[in-house]
Every structure is written in structure tokens, then in C-alpha cells.
Amino acid sequence: MSNFAFGLGVGTQSAAGDWLEVYFNAPLLNAADDLIKAVGDALGYEGGNQTIEIEESQLKALEAAFLSVGAEDQAEIVEVLEGTRQPLVVCILASDEEPQTTAEVYLKLSLLSHRLVKPHGINLTGMFGKLPNVAWTNEGAVALDELPKRQLAARAQGRVLDVHSVDKFPKMTNYVVPAGIRVGDAARIRLGAHVGEGTTVMHEGFINFNA
């Protein structure tokens, strides 16, 4: 069972249940066959490229699956997620086809910023259509049509909902800070940027996704 990529993610959905973004703590490129088989058995995966939304109640089985194949790192991620109320997703990509879901796009952008694939080394065709335009705030991703109510409610409670950007792409550093870099203003680097070790991005710089 060959595999292109794997990721266990925790993300944000709109009130309507649409995915706004997904955080993959430790995505895998070419995951081991036995890991995919164990996880697949636990989640009912039947092959191909799948975005599988999971419940918190499935995490114990997922942890056992990881431990059964010695994937301690992934098992540790599951442990941290146990008890969460945030939406969870598992992406299993058998091949590098065009991404079909928001989660798949985020997995692929994460592979780039984790330096697991090189710029232009991954199929992102049609990705824009899978990425919603989102308000990126100090309280996480917020759907644009929910923003005014959220801002008003925050104000009533004495807080400010601080909107950092309004964009299809989040900033890379909120997802991964690859080793050996310095970044003056993190707003300048989108998730999906591939920032080489030793790079310093001063405050005027801007690195686009997949660049």
C-alpha cells in the first residue's frame, strides 16, 4: 500500500461546519506502509486520497494504531489532542493528485514548509478553489461572515478580536518554524513557503507560498 503523504490535523470550522484551516503538527511524506495499514484499519480507510474527519472518541484507537507500529511521535501528538473539542482530521494521500479538500491543501502546504518537498515539487492544481478566504485573528481563524458578530461580542466582553490578515493563506510560523531561520516580521511568509536553513528574512522581505 504505497503512500504519498499522511497527516493528523486539528483545525477550525465555521459555524456552518466548513473547514477554515488545518494545523498538521508533524506531517509525513511517504509514510511507512505499516503505519498507513494500522491507521487505515483503525479508521476504515479503503485506499485512495481520503480526508477523514474523526471524533475525539476515536483518538484512543488511533494512538494504539501508532504504537503498534512504533510511531511514537505520532502517538504523542494524539495524546496531546485527547480531550480536545476542536475538529480533527486525518489525511491519507495515496498519490500526489490534485487536492480535493481544504485539509489536503493544508497538508501539502505543510509538507512544503516542513521542507519535506521542494517548491514546485508537489501538485497544487486547483488549490485556490479549496481555500476559503479567512480572517486570521488572535483567537484563530474566523469565517468572514461571522466576523462582525464575533468582533462585537469580544468588544462587549472587553476584548479586541485582532484581525492580522484576511487571506486564503495563513502565515507560515503559526504552523511551523523550520530549523535555522530568522524572520523579522512573520506576517510576510505564507504557509507553503519553503525557507531554507540559514535564511534570515528581514522586515522588508516577503515569501509567497510555494516559493
Binding site for a second copy (CB under 8 A): 10, 23, 25-26, 77, 80-81, 83-86, 133, 135, 138-141, 144, 147-149, 151-153, 155-168, 171, 173-177, 179, 181-188, 202-204, 206
The string of DSSP codes covering 15-68 is TTS-EEEEEESS-EES--HHHHHHHHHHHT--SSSEEEEE-GGGHHHHHHHHHH
Q: Do 45 and 92 touch, CB atoms closer than 8 A? A: yes
CA–CA distances in Å: residue 152 to residues 26, 136, 155, 174: 36, 16, 5, 25
Shortest distance in whole angstroms from residue 150 CB to a second copy: 10
Compute CA 206 distance to the chain's CA centroid, rounded to the nearest angstrom.
21
For residue 171, the 8-state DSSP code is B
Give whichever of 118 and 155 is closer to a second copy, judged by the CB atom.
155
Give whichever of 96 and 146 is closer to a second copy, judged by the CB atom.
146
Shortest distance in whole angstroms from residue 170 CB to a second copy: 9
Task: Work out the burial of residue 78: count CB atoms within 10 Å of its CB; fewer than 13 is exposed, 13-18 middle, 19 or more buried.
Answer: buried
Give whichever of 1 and 144 is closer to a second copy, judged by the CB atom.
144
Nearest CA among 170, 183, 173 for reference residue 137: 170
Give whichever of 40 and 77 is closer to a second copy, judged by the CB atom.
77
- CA–CA separation, 206 vs 13, rounded Å? 28
Shortest distance in whole angstroms from residue 162 CB to a second copy: 6
- Cell numbers linked to 140: 484563530
Shortest distance in whole angstroms from residue 46 CB to a second copy: 28
Shortest distance in whole angstroms from residue 199 CB to a second copy: 10
Give whichever of 67 and 94 is closer to a second copy, judged by the CB atom.
67
Give whichever of 33 and 162 is closer to a second copy, judged by the CB atom.
162
- CA–CA separation, 191 vs 183, rounded Å? 13
Shortest distance in whole angstroms from residue 44 CB to a second copy: 24
